[in-house]
Amino acid sequence: MKALRTTSCLCVCILAAAGAALRASASEPAGADKANRLVIHADRGRDTINRNIYGHFAEHLGRCIYEGFWVGEDSNIPNVRGIRKDVVEALRGIAIPVLRWPGGCFADEYHWMDGIGPRSARIPIVNTHWGMVTETNHFGTHEFLDLCEQLGCEPYICGNVGSGTVQEMQQWVEYITNDGQSPMTALRRQNGREKPWRVRYWGVGNENWGCGGNMRPEYYADQYRRYATYLRNFSGNRLFKIACGANGFDFRWTDVLMREAARLMDGLSLHYYCGSGRRSRSATKFGEEDWFAQLQRALRIDELVTSHCRIMDRYDPKKRIALIVDEWGAWHAVEPDTNPGFLYQQNSLRDALVAGLTLNIFNNHCDRVRMANIAQTVNVLQAMILTDKEKMILTPTYHVFEMYKVHHDAMLLPTELACADYAFGRDRIPSLNVSASRDKAGRIHLSLCNLDPNRPQTVACELRGDKASKVSGRVLTHEAMTAHNTFENPQVVKPAAFDGAKIAENGLTVDVPAKSVVVLTIE
């Protein structure tokens, strides 16, 4: 049976009978597979896709910060004040909007004063969460905010609730954002920064249900209320306070936090990884069984977001509070002969499909989801970039983020999709996944993912409320589902021009290749 799937920024529905809500049209594009029918409601756009949905996460973990971003001012690798030029240039290429730091689990053991002042005088610590290696503290507050300025992105700082104090976090906010006279601003000026930074986004702890203190939701809600009370707005900098949210399907956590602390929060976080931790299989050596299982798990983020949003709606019907999915992505086994605590993994075409479908889902929930941060930016988990000394490569996931730039701050256009299923064994998932938007210049952008690794899909797309006169696009795919980029062969998976979309009387037809991500521009 074919399933009708209706997506909008308000809801995502799956109906049992195909065609129940999609009217058959005599002007349906010729040659289209009647199993795959898409309606784009070009006249019903209302909500904006916040560019911060395309945000990133960088933790003091493995080689993300050191060797990934930071090489030091004396390095032979080209750098600006110790920060790698090639990595910065690559991330500017995807218009990185926001970067979350310093963790992750590391955040709730990080004491920010250890990372300021002359680097030669900073006291090293042991990174107990990630490999028990020495953390030099050479990359601290000034270096991170310098990185964000070089990237042209907003910083998102996660404070220490698990092992820190209210005073410590309050003083961090003051040190960074106050332009007045105080001991903290004097310390900042002593360390070389005269004017304050603008830092809006502050997370009050990380995973406080786990590595951030193993707290009960009632206890954390009280802790959040306490911390939020003392995080002040200084010198015109208005804080956007983000409470630690649930681990995946822990809906009780969301209910308690919204009930007890909603009035003091601007955002509530959510974490979901679609891998199976360190026992998961290789990122590049897998069969169709693994391909299917990974995408099936990735699709559950839709169910997850829908359910958490439903709880938030009960307490916040006007949707003032944002859902911040500040850790998400694939989690595979580490690469052979690497430190298991460093979470260094390769990145294949399968990961590109995970990224594409997840970003489509976030787009379609943009009324509530206003920031997301993929884990992690460089050399860790589902990274954009991998480095090896002076070498750097871009991953398939990077290319999806680059292709999807067109959705940044665009108006979401509701879509209705009826499509064939992709079946493996007794299980089925939709073969297609979509989102659409209209940019400020009036162009419509459609992102399509074909999750089926074996069969192309022809889609009849009806454009309601508009008419297409021109269509162009790009595609990311490869013959092999395990295809990935290496330092020896860095261009194996990269976008190419796409000519599989044709204008029809009431829209267009699109021939979507197997295992591909396609982004179209319709004018």
Q: What is the mean pLDDT of residues 2-26?
A: 37
Mean pLDDT of the chain: 93
Neighbours of 409 (CB within 10 A): 14
Buried residues in 40-66 as b, exposed as e (16+ CB within 10 A):
bbbeebebbbbbbbbbbbbbbbbbbbb
Confidence of residue 347 (pLDDT cuts 50, 70, 90): very high
Measured CA to CA, the distance from residue 174 to residue 171 in angstroms comes to 5
Catalytic residue among 28, 59, 174, 207: 207
Mean pLDDT of 326-332: 96
Across the range 72-100, mean pLDDT stands at 98
Give the pLDDT confidence of 117-171 residue by residue, as tens digits. Answer: 999 999 999 999 998 999 999 999 999 999 999 999 999 999 999 999 999 999 9
- Is residue 183 over pLDDT 80? yes
Window from 20-29, 247-256, 288-297, 474-483 with minimum mean pLDDT: 20-29
Task: Tell me the H-state helices in 264-390.
Answer: 288-315, 349-364
pLDDT given for residue 280 in this prediction: 65
Q: Is 207 known to be catalytic?
A: yes
pLDDT tens per residue across span 474-493: 999 999 999 999 999 999 99
Phi and psi angles of residue 170, each rounded to the nearest 5 degrees, phi first = -60, -40
Q: What is the DSSP string of 367-394?
A: TTEEEEEEE-SBSSSS-SEEEETTEEEE
Indicate which residue of 59, 67, 327, 462 is catalytic.
327
Whether 174 is catalytic is no
